[in-house]
Amino acid sequence: MNKILRFLEKYIIPKFLYRLFQPIYHYFLVALAAFIYGFPSRKMFVIGVTGTKGKTTTCNLIAHIFNSNGLKTGMATTVNFRIGEEEWLNKTGHTMLGRFQLQKLLAKMLKLGCHYAVIETSSEGILQYRHRFIDYDMAVFTNLSSEHLERHGGFENYRTAKIKLFEKIAKKENSFGVYNLDDKNVDYFLKPAVKNKYGYQIKLKIKNQKLNHILEIEDINLLPDKSKFTVNKEDFEIPLIGEFNVYNTAAAICVAMFQNIPIKQIKKSLVNVKPIPGRMEKINEGQNFSVFVDYAHTEDALKEALSALRVFCKNKIIVVFGCGGDRDKAKRFK
Protein backbone atom coordinates (compact mmCIF):
# COMPACT_ATOMS: atom_id res chain seq x y z
CA MET A 1 0.00 0.00 0.00
CA ASN A 2 2.86 2.41 0.80
CA LYS A 3 4.36 1.74 -2.65
CA ILE A 4 1.03 2.68 -4.23
CA LEU A 5 0.96 5.89 -2.21
CA ARG A 6 4.50 6.79 -3.27
CA PHE A 7 3.58 6.16 -6.93
CA LEU A 8 0.52 8.40 -6.60
CA GLU A 9 2.64 11.10 -4.92
CA LYS A 10 5.26 11.02 -7.63
CA TYR A 11 3.13 10.82 -10.74
CA ILE A 12 -0.49 11.75 -10.04
CA ILE A 13 -1.37 13.54 -6.78
CA PRO A 14 0.07 17.03 -6.08
CA LYS A 15 2.44 16.94 -3.12
CA PHE A 16 0.36 19.20 -0.91
CA LEU A 17 -2.68 16.95 -1.38
CA TYR A 18 -0.62 13.84 -0.70
CA ARG A 19 0.71 15.28 2.56
CA LEU A 20 -2.81 16.21 3.59
CA PHE A 21 -4.19 12.77 2.75
CA GLN A 22 -1.41 10.58 4.20
CA PRO A 23 -2.08 11.20 7.94
CA ILE A 24 -5.81 10.65 7.38
CA TYR A 25 -5.04 7.37 5.61
CA HIS A 26 -2.78 6.14 8.44
CA TYR A 27 -5.23 7.24 11.15
CA PHE A 28 -8.18 5.53 9.48
CA LEU A 29 -6.33 2.20 9.13
CA VAL A 30 -5.06 2.09 12.70
CA ALA A 31 -8.50 3.03 14.08
CA LEU A 32 -10.10 0.31 11.96
CA ALA A 33 -7.53 -2.28 13.12
CA ALA A 34 -8.09 -1.46 16.80
CA PHE A 35 -11.87 -1.56 16.35
CA ILE A 36 -11.80 -4.95 14.57
CA TYR A 37 -9.75 -6.56 17.37
CA GLY A 38 -11.70 -4.92 20.20
CA PHE A 39 -9.12 -2.39 21.45
CA PRO A 40 -7.14 -5.09 23.32
CA SER A 41 -4.47 -2.78 24.77
CA ARG A 42 -7.09 -1.06 26.95
CA LYS A 43 -7.25 -4.22 29.05
CA MET A 44 -3.46 -4.56 29.57
CA PHE A 45 -0.58 -2.54 31.01
CA VAL A 46 1.40 -1.58 27.90
CA ILE A 47 5.08 -0.61 27.94
CA GLY A 48 6.62 1.07 24.88
CA VAL A 49 10.40 1.03 24.46
CA THR A 50 11.91 3.58 22.09
CA GLY A 51 15.38 4.89 21.24
CA THR A 52 18.09 4.18 18.66
CA LYS A 53 19.93 1.27 20.25
CA GLY A 54 19.07 -1.38 22.82
CA LYS A 55 15.30 -1.49 22.28
CA THR A 56 15.08 -5.20 21.44
CA THR A 57 17.34 -6.30 24.30
CA THR A 58 15.56 -4.05 26.80
CA CYS A 59 12.15 -5.43 25.74
CA ASN A 60 13.39 -9.00 26.14
CA LEU A 61 14.84 -8.26 29.57
CA ILE A 62 11.59 -6.65 30.78
CA ALA A 63 9.49 -9.56 29.49
CA HIS A 64 11.88 -12.09 31.06
CA ILE A 65 11.78 -10.41 34.49
CA PHE A 66 8.00 -10.09 34.43
CA ASN A 67 7.32 -13.66 33.30
CA SER A 68 9.87 -15.02 35.80
CA ASN A 69 7.93 -13.30 38.58
CA GLY A 70 4.47 -14.54 37.65
CA LEU A 71 3.40 -11.48 35.61
CA LYS A 72 2.34 -13.01 32.30
CA THR A 73 3.67 -10.75 29.58
CA GLY A 74 3.50 -10.52 25.81
CA MET A 75 6.22 -8.89 23.72
CA ALA A 76 6.86 -7.68 20.16
CA THR A 77 10.34 -6.69 18.95
CA THR A 78 12.47 -6.53 15.80
CA VAL A 79 13.82 -10.01 16.48
CA ASN A 80 11.16 -11.97 18.33
CA PHE A 81 7.68 -12.24 19.78
CA ARG A 82 6.66 -13.69 23.11
CA ILE A 83 3.49 -14.64 24.94
CA GLY A 84 4.42 -15.85 28.41
CA GLU A 85 7.03 -18.57 27.94
CA GLU A 86 6.18 -19.15 24.27
CA GLU A 87 8.63 -17.42 21.93
CA TRP A 88 9.03 -17.25 18.15
CA LEU A 89 11.09 -15.25 15.65
CA ASN A 90 9.87 -12.10 13.93
CA LYS A 91 10.06 -12.93 10.21
CA THR A 92 8.12 -9.88 9.02
CA GLY A 93 11.15 -7.64 8.53
CA HIS A 94 9.50 -4.87 10.58
CA THR A 95 10.64 -3.49 13.93
CA MET A 96 7.06 -2.49 14.74
CA LEU A 97 4.35 -4.62 13.18
CA GLY A 98 1.79 -3.15 10.81
CA ARG A 99 -1.43 -1.84 12.33
CA PHE A 100 -3.58 -4.94 11.78
CA GLN A 101 -0.79 -7.39 12.68
CA LEU A 102 0.03 -5.55 15.88
CA GLN A 103 -3.58 -5.25 17.05
CA LYS A 104 -4.11 -8.92 16.22
CA LEU A 105 -1.05 -9.88 18.29
CA LEU A 106 -2.22 -7.74 21.22
CA ALA A 107 -5.62 -9.43 21.05
CA LYS A 108 -3.91 -12.83 21.11
CA MET A 109 -1.84 -11.80 24.13
CA LEU A 110 -4.99 -10.74 25.96
CA LYS A 111 -6.86 -13.93 25.03
CA LEU A 112 -3.99 -16.08 26.35
CA GLY A 113 -3.98 -14.33 29.71
CA CYS A 114 -1.33 -11.61 29.40
CA HIS A 115 -1.76 -8.66 31.75
CA TYR A 116 1.31 -6.86 30.35
CA ALA A 117 2.58 -6.10 26.84
CA VAL A 118 6.04 -4.80 25.90
CA ILE A 119 6.17 -3.18 22.46
CA GLU A 120 9.34 -2.06 20.66
CA THR A 121 8.11 1.26 19.30
CA SER A 122 10.00 2.65 16.31
CA SER A 123 10.07 6.16 14.88
CA GLU A 124 8.83 4.75 11.55
CA GLY A 125 5.91 3.14 13.36
CA ILE A 126 5.11 6.45 15.05
CA LEU A 127 5.25 8.30 11.70
CA GLN A 128 2.69 5.85 10.34
CA TYR A 129 0.46 6.15 13.44
CA ARG A 130 0.95 2.50 14.41
CA HIS A 131 1.25 3.65 18.04
CA ARG A 132 -2.20 5.24 17.89
CA PHE A 133 -5.00 3.29 19.57
CA ILE A 134 -2.41 1.43 21.65
CA ASP A 135 -3.13 2.37 25.24
CA TYR A 136 0.44 2.83 26.47
CA ASP A 137 0.95 3.19 30.22
CA MET A 138 4.73 3.46 30.30
CA ALA A 139 7.45 4.65 27.92
CA VAL A 140 11.17 3.81 28.09
CA PHE A 141 13.90 5.94 26.47
CA THR A 142 17.14 4.01 25.87
CA ASN A 143 19.34 6.49 23.93
CA LEU A 144 19.43 8.57 20.75
CA SER A 145 21.91 8.89 17.89
CA SER A 146 21.69 9.49 14.14
CA GLU A 147 19.52 6.92 12.38
CA HIS A 148 16.83 6.87 9.66
CA LEU A 149 17.65 10.48 8.80
CA GLU A 150 16.75 9.95 5.14
CA ARG A 151 13.26 8.97 6.26
CA HIS A 152 12.73 11.78 8.77
CA GLY A 153 14.50 14.60 6.97
CA GLY A 154 17.00 15.38 9.74
CA PHE A 155 17.97 14.50 13.30
CA GLU A 156 15.58 16.96 14.96
CA ASN A 157 12.60 15.42 13.15
CA TYR A 158 13.81 11.93 14.12
CA ARG A 159 14.02 12.97 17.79
CA THR A 160 10.60 14.64 17.63
CA ALA A 161 9.05 11.41 16.33
CA LYS A 162 10.47 9.46 19.29
CA ILE A 163 9.25 12.04 21.80
CA LYS A 164 5.66 11.61 20.56
CA LEU A 165 5.46 8.35 22.51
CA PHE A 166 6.10 10.27 25.77
CA GLU A 167 3.68 13.01 24.75
CA LYS A 168 1.05 10.32 24.21
CA ILE A 169 1.40 8.71 27.64
CA ALA A 170 1.66 12.10 29.37
CA LYS A 171 -2.04 12.57 28.61
CA LYS A 172 -2.90 9.67 30.93
CA GLU A 173 -3.78 10.34 34.55
CA ASN A 174 -1.21 7.84 35.84
CA SER A 175 1.67 7.60 33.37
CA PHE A 176 5.20 6.23 33.81
CA GLY A 177 8.49 7.13 32.11
CA VAL A 178 11.96 5.56 32.31
CA TYR A 179 14.94 7.58 31.05
CA ASN A 180 18.64 7.08 30.33
CA LEU A 181 20.07 10.13 32.11
CA ASP A 182 23.50 9.65 30.55
CA ASP A 183 22.16 10.40 27.06
CA LYS A 184 22.70 13.97 25.88
CA ASN A 185 19.16 14.16 24.44
CA VAL A 186 17.39 13.11 27.64
CA ASP A 187 16.14 16.62 28.51
CA TYR A 188 14.00 16.65 25.38
CA PHE A 189 12.33 13.41 26.48
CA LEU A 190 11.81 14.72 30.02
CA LYS A 191 9.76 17.70 28.79
CA PRO A 192 6.41 15.85 28.35
CA ALA A 193 4.54 15.94 31.67
CA VAL A 194 4.71 12.23 32.47
CA LYS A 195 3.44 11.78 36.02
CA ASN A 196 6.00 9.26 37.36
CA LYS A 197 9.59 9.53 36.14
CA TYR A 198 12.38 7.06 36.88
CA GLY A 199 15.94 7.62 35.61
CA TYR A 200 19.07 5.49 35.48
CA GLN A 201 22.67 6.57 35.11
CA ILE A 202 26.20 5.25 35.16
CA LYS A 203 28.48 8.17 34.33
CA LEU A 204 27.01 11.59 35.09
CA LYS A 205 25.85 11.20 38.72
CA ILE A 206 23.74 14.33 38.41
CA LYS A 207 20.69 14.82 40.62
CA ASN A 208 17.73 15.72 38.41
CA GLN A 209 14.85 17.39 40.22
CA LYS A 210 12.39 16.39 37.47
CA LEU A 211 12.52 12.72 38.45
CA ASN A 212 10.81 10.78 41.23
CA HIS A 213 13.74 8.39 41.57
CA ILE A 214 17.20 7.82 40.08
CA LEU A 215 18.84 4.41 39.81
CA GLU A 216 22.64 4.57 40.00
CA ILE A 217 24.68 1.75 38.50
CA GLU A 218 28.11 1.31 40.11
CA ASP A 219 31.10 -1.03 40.32
CA ILE A 220 30.80 -2.28 36.74
CA ASN A 221 33.00 -5.26 35.87
CA LEU A 222 32.91 -6.33 32.21
CA LEU A 223 34.05 -9.92 31.63
CA PRO A 224 34.33 -12.15 28.51
CA ASP A 225 31.10 -14.03 29.22
CA LYS A 226 29.14 -11.82 31.63
CA SER A 227 28.83 -8.41 33.24
CA LYS A 228 28.73 -7.54 36.94
CA PHE A 229 27.51 -4.32 38.57
CA THR A 230 25.86 -2.96 41.71
CA VAL A 231 22.39 -1.42 42.08
CA ASN A 232 21.25 -0.09 45.47
CA LYS A 233 23.99 -2.14 47.16
CA GLU A 234 22.76 -5.32 45.46
CA ASP A 235 25.35 -7.14 43.33
CA PHE A 236 23.97 -8.07 39.90
CA GLU A 237 25.36 -10.53 37.37
CA ILE A 238 24.03 -10.98 33.82
CA PRO A 239 25.20 -13.43 31.11
CA LEU A 240 25.45 -10.54 28.61
CA ILE A 241 28.61 -8.67 27.65
CA GLY A 242 29.36 -4.99 27.14
CA GLU A 243 28.56 -1.75 28.92
CA PHE A 244 25.62 -1.16 26.57
CA ASN A 245 23.96 -4.27 28.00
CA VAL A 246 24.43 -2.87 31.50
CA TYR A 247 22.45 0.18 30.32
CA ASN A 248 19.76 -2.05 28.79
CA THR A 249 19.52 -4.02 32.02
CA ALA A 250 19.30 -0.83 34.08
CA ALA A 251 16.27 0.26 32.04
CA ALA A 252 14.60 -3.12 32.60
CA ILE A 253 15.32 -2.95 36.35
CA CYS A 254 13.63 0.47 36.52
CA VAL A 255 10.53 -0.87 34.76
CA ALA A 256 10.38 -3.87 37.11
CA MET A 257 10.77 -1.67 40.19
CA PHE A 258 7.89 0.50 38.98
CA GLN A 259 5.78 -2.68 39.14
CA ASN A 260 6.94 -3.31 42.71
CA ILE A 261 8.97 -6.42 41.93
CA PRO A 262 11.50 -6.73 44.81
CA ILE A 263 15.06 -5.99 43.75
CA LYS A 264 16.27 -9.38 45.03
CA GLN A 265 13.72 -11.08 42.75
CA ILE A 266 14.84 -8.96 39.78
CA LYS A 267 18.43 -9.94 40.51
CA LYS A 268 17.51 -13.64 40.68
CA SER A 269 15.60 -13.44 37.38
CA LEU A 270 18.50 -11.90 35.45
CA VAL A 271 21.04 -14.58 36.33
CA ASN A 272 19.58 -17.01 33.80
CA VAL A 273 18.36 -14.62 31.08
CA LYS A 274 18.98 -16.01 27.58
CA PRO A 275 21.10 -14.08 25.03
CA ILE A 276 18.91 -12.40 22.42
CA PRO A 277 19.32 -13.76 18.86
CA GLY A 278 21.55 -11.48 16.78
CA ARG A 279 22.42 -9.22 19.71
CA MET A 280 26.07 -9.86 20.58
CA GLU A 281 25.28 -13.54 20.05
CA LYS A 282 28.21 -15.92 20.32
CA ILE A 283 28.43 -18.53 17.55
CA ASN A 284 30.21 -21.75 18.44
CA GLU A 285 30.72 -24.32 15.68
CA GLY A 286 33.86 -25.86 17.17
CA GLN A 287 36.23 -23.22 15.74
CA ASN A 288 39.35 -22.15 17.66
CA PHE A 289 38.40 -18.48 17.63
CA SER A 290 35.41 -16.46 18.80
CA VAL A 291 32.60 -15.34 16.49
CA PHE A 292 29.88 -12.87 17.47
CA VAL A 293 26.86 -11.69 15.53
CA ASP A 294 25.47 -8.29 16.42
CA TYR A 295 22.91 -5.87 15.01
CA ALA A 296 25.21 -2.82 15.33
CA HIS A 297 24.65 -0.67 12.24
CA THR A 298 25.35 2.89 13.37
CA GLU A 299 28.67 4.56 14.15
CA ASP A 300 28.04 4.61 17.91
CA ALA A 301 26.69 1.05 18.05
CA LEU A 302 29.65 -0.35 16.12
CA LYS A 303 32.10 1.43 18.43
CA GLU A 304 30.34 0.03 21.49
CA ALA A 305 30.25 -3.50 20.09
CA LEU A 306 33.96 -3.46 19.23
CA SER A 307 34.84 -1.91 22.60
CA ALA A 308 32.95 -4.70 24.36
CA LEU A 309 34.88 -7.34 22.43
CA ARG A 310 38.24 -5.63 22.90
CA VAL A 311 37.94 -6.17 26.69
CA PHE A 312 38.84 -9.84 26.26
CA CYS A 313 40.16 -10.04 22.68
CA LYS A 314 43.77 -8.88 22.70
CA ASN A 315 44.55 -9.99 19.14
CA LYS A 316 43.10 -8.97 15.79
CA ILE A 317 39.35 -8.31 15.47
CA ILE A 318 37.96 -8.86 11.98
CA VAL A 319 34.75 -6.94 11.26
CA VAL A 320 32.28 -7.83 8.52
CA PHE A 321 29.32 -5.47 8.16
CA GLY A 322 26.77 -4.67 5.49
CA CYS A 323 24.58 -1.81 4.34
CA GLY A 324 21.15 -3.40 4.15
CA GLY A 325 18.37 -1.77 2.19
CA ASP A 326 20.66 0.82 0.53
CA ARG A 327 19.44 3.37 3.10
CA ASP A 328 21.07 6.23 5.02
CA LYS A 329 24.20 6.19 2.85
CA ALA A 330 25.84 9.10 4.70
CA LYS A 331 26.63 7.03 7.80
CA ARG A 332 28.71 4.44 5.89
CA PHE A 333 31.75 6.73 5.75
CA LYS A 334 31.73 7.26 9.51
Q: Between 90 and 26, whose confidence is greater? A: 90
Q: Between 206 and 164, whose confidence is greater? A: 164
Label the pairing between strands 116-120 and 73-76.
parallel
Interatomic CA distance for residues 83 and 307, integer angstroms: 34
Predicted pLDDT of residue 178: 97
Predicted pLDDT of residue 133: 93
Structure confidence by residue, pLDDT tens digits, 146-202: 565 555 456 888 888 899 999 999 999 899 999 999 999 999 999 999 999 999 998
Lowest mean pLDDT, pick from 7-21, 205-219, 282-296, 304-318: 7-21
Contacts 24+ apart (CB under 8 A), 156-162: 158/123, 159/185, 159/188, 161/123, 161/126, 161/127, 162/50, 162/51, 162/123, 162/126, 162/189
- Whole-model pTM: value is 0.85
pLDDT band at 326 (very low <50, low <70, confident <90, very high): low
pLDDT band at 296 (very low <50, low <70, confident <90, very high): confident
What percentage of the chain reaches a pLDDT higher than 70? 84
Predicted pLDDT of residue 327: 57
pLDDT band at 320 (very low <50, low <70, confident <90, very high): confident
Do 79 and 90 contact (CB within 8 A), yes or no? yes
pLDDT band at 329 (very low <50, low <70, confident <90, very high): low
Q: Between 228 and 301, whose confidence is greater? A: 228
**Count of other CB atoms within 10 angstroms of residue 4:** 8
Predicted pLDDT of residue 284: 78
Interatomic CA distance for residues 278 and 54, integer angstroms: 12
pLDDT surpasses 70 at 323:
no
Q: Between 303 and 205, whose confidence is greater? A: 303
Predicted pLDDT of residue 287: 80
pLDDT surpasses 60 at 132:
yes
What percentage of the chain reaches a pLDDT higher than 90? 49
Residue at 83: amino acid letter: I
Among residues 43, 27, 65, which one has the least CA distance to residue 110? 43
Predicted pLDDT of residue 37: 97
Q: Between 277 and 80, whose confidence is greater? A: 80
How far out from the chain centre does Cα 77 lie?
A: 8
Predicted pLDDT of residue 15: 62
pLDDT surpasses 80 at 99:
yes
Structure confidence by residue, pLDDT tens digits, 227-274: 899 988 889 999 998 888 999 999 999 999 999 999 999 999 999 898
Q: Please give the torsion angle defined by the CA atoms of residues 211, 179, 259 and 72, in that order, rounded to the nearest 10 degrees.
A: 170
